[in-house]
Every structure is written in structure tokens, then in C-alpha cells.
Amino acid sequence: MLLAALVDAGAPLEAIRAAVTDTGLTGWDLAVSRVVTHGLASSRAVVSVTDDATSRRAGELIAMAGRIRDRAVADTAAAALRAIAEVEGHLHGEDPDEVHLHELGGHDTLVDIVGVAAALRALDVRTVHCEPLPLGSGTVRTAHGVLPCPAPATAALLRGALVTGTPLVGETVTPTAAALLRALSADYSPPPPMRLSATGYGAGTRTLPDRPNVAVVRLGELETADVRDLVVLETNLDDVTGELLGYVVGHLLDSGALDSWVTPAVMKKGRPAHVLHALAAPETADELERLILAETGTLGVRRTTVRRTAADRSTDIVQVHGMPVRRKHGPHHGKPEYDDAVAVARQTGLPLRVVLAVAAEKPEES
């Protein structure tokens, strides 16, 4: 289903078939057709087999993946197969390379895993984000008998993944999918802002009573923004003068704070006060915290981790009355640098608002 969804989103079948061929696997064919399930048009991938080998040693599959010429595809496929081997070996008390994969040892497993790795490579996918995985209930029949859903191998492969319950009975996450998500280091947090470029729907063969049985993939290009975790330091102050507060804000900025500001507050017993804030990179937070403690005499500093998205920006320079004024441009807005505009206003005697307006409206200079 995942392979079909990637093809539906634009992955070329030729690249997928070529990667599988590199493994030396014979007696197979991969076809993708269009189907409609519950009114939703989707792609369905079908592996046709003329070779009757249904189980192989895990080490054999890993070695076959290692033959793939594109090393990125080979590494992803081998990592997923290795994850399956280690889980199955642990469950059955066998060496991972020697463990026999029954349902997972046939052509489907190799075609699916190599195919997904090749599709992601062809689509130039760099990171994978995954919604919470729905876990079904009931049982599944395997070569080892009837087992609970999710099967033990799947449950082991999903360790660390974000999951959620579902009323669906039966297998809703396969061990192959779980192994791929582990090999891809899938992130289960919401994806960062991106420009959506394609959506693919991959249909399964099982018919569900109330919904399409599809896996959905969404491809997007990240907005050129810096997304990172930062630290906010803050403390309440009711015995510090305005002059000192202004000095500390400037000192914090000069000492590496990404931003610093003051907000008014009312503390216990109705005392007017201020909250001093500083935005810092994690590596500078300790030093800035010591600065706040020393300069303000406060008895405590709070620390909060926040995620900041900094949009891409560029700078150009325009001349206003013969003096340079830098302008900072973001994806949606631009503005002149305040200090440069102030220098022009003081030198020329023009109102600052006029200098800012002229600088903002000037065309970019070559």
C-alpha cells in the first residue's frame, strides 16, 4: 500500500523495478493499476510471482539488498531487513542472520522494501513524518499459529512509534511497514511548514465496511525557514529601575541573546512589576541565565523550551540622500534597518518617518 501510494504520488515504476532487479531476485513482476474504493481513486500495487520460494534466511535477503547499485537505496532496504531480522531472531531465540522468515521471506517483502526505498530516493524525500499508527485488534494467522494483533514482530518493530487504537479488527500495520518506518527514522511529530506538491493513495486488497482501505502519502517542499528549539529565560522583577532594565536588555543582546524584552506585570499584593525575557540558543542559555542573576539580583530564573520558525531572509542596500540604508526582506514583508534610517534622519534633518518611507519604496539597486 505504501509503495502504491508513492507511485500514485509520482514515483517512477522504472526506478523501482531497476532497484529490485539489482538484488538478483528472479521470477517476479510488479504492476500498478487504478482502482476505486469507497469512491476514492487509488493505485494498487500487485507483485506477481513465478518462483515458489516463500521463505528465506534473513541474511540472504540482506545480502540481496546490498547488491543494489544506489547505495542510499541499498542502505535503507538493508536497514529495514536488518530490523526485521533482529526482531525475529530475538522472538525465536535465533541468530538474526540465520532466522528463517516465513511470511516475510517471500518476494513481496523484498519488492516492497526495496521498492519503497527506491521510490523515496527517486522522489528525493529527505525526511519522513508519520501520523499516529492505527493498531487493529483481534488475531492474525501466521506460520506459527494464530497470534494477537498487532503480531509480536510488528509490536517489537513499533517500539518508540506513536500509535493509536482503532475499532478495526485485524492487521492494520504490517511488519514490513513498521520496519521501513524504523529504517527511515520516521518522525511522529507534526511535519514542519511545507508547500504541498503531491498526494498519493495506495489501496490494499482488504475491503473495509465504512472507509477506503488506503495508505496516504503527502509530498511537500519545506519552506526555507530555520526551525529549531530555543530557550526562553524569564524572571519577575519588582525592585529594579527602568534604567537598569534597559541596560540589562542591551547587555543580554550584546552577550548573545537572540532577543530580549520586558513586559509589565502585577505581582502579589498588587505591586507593579516587570517580567524580563530573553530568547537564547540552548548552548548560550546558561551564560545568559548567570548574567540575569548577577545584573538584576533576582532570586530565580524560569526556563522554557520553545520552537521558533525563522523565515528565510535577505538583505539589500539602497541609497537615501546619498547615505546607505540596509533593508531586510522576508518572504512576505520587508523593512529598512532602523539604525540606518535614524542616521540618515539625523544627518539630513528629515523626519524619520519620511526616511523610512523613502527607503521602503526605493527599487532594489543592481
The better pLDDT of the pair 141, 197 is held by 197
Residue-level pLDDT at 228:
85
Residue-level pLDDT at 155:
93
Residue-level pLDDT at 193:
79
Residue-level pLDDT at 314:
83
Would you place residue 365 in the very low, low, confident or very high pLDDT band (cuts 50, 70, 90)?
low
What would the pLDDT profile of 122-142 be if each residue is shown by its tens digit?
999 989 999 999 998 887 777
Residue-level pLDDT at 268:
87
Answer yes or no: are the C-beta atoms of 157 and 213 closer than 8 Å.
Answer: no
Task: Round the average pLDDT of the chain to a whole number and report it.
Answer: 90
- Which domains can be identified in the chain, with CATH numbers? 2-222 (no CATH), 226-311 (3.30.70.1380), 314-361 (no CATH)
pLDDT > 70: percent of the chain: 95
Whether the pLDDT of residue 312 is over 50: the answer is yes
Would you place residue 95 in the very low, low, confident or very high pLDDT band (cuts 50, 70, 90)?
confident
What would the pLDDT profile of 162-175 be if each residue is shown by its tens digit?
999 988 888 899 99
Would you place residue 64 in the very low, low, confident or very high pLDDT band (cuts 50, 70, 90)?
very high
Whether the pLDDT of residue 366 is over 70: the answer is no
259-277: average pLDDT: 94
Would you place residue 103 in the very low, low, confident or very high pLDDT band (cuts 50, 70, 90)?
low
Residue-level pLDDT at 56:
76
Residue-level pLDDT at 333:
83
pLDDT > 90: percent of the chain: 69
94-112: average pLDDT: 75
Would you place residue 54 in the very low, low, confident or very high pLDDT band (cuts 50, 70, 90)?
low
Residue pointed to by grid coordinates 518476494: 107
Which residues, 6 or more positions from 57, have their beta carbon under 8 angstroms from its beta carbon?
Answer: 97, 98, 99, 100, 101, 105
Would you place residue 105 in the very low, low, confident or very high pLDDT band (cuts 50, 70, 90)?
very low
Global pTM value: 0.62
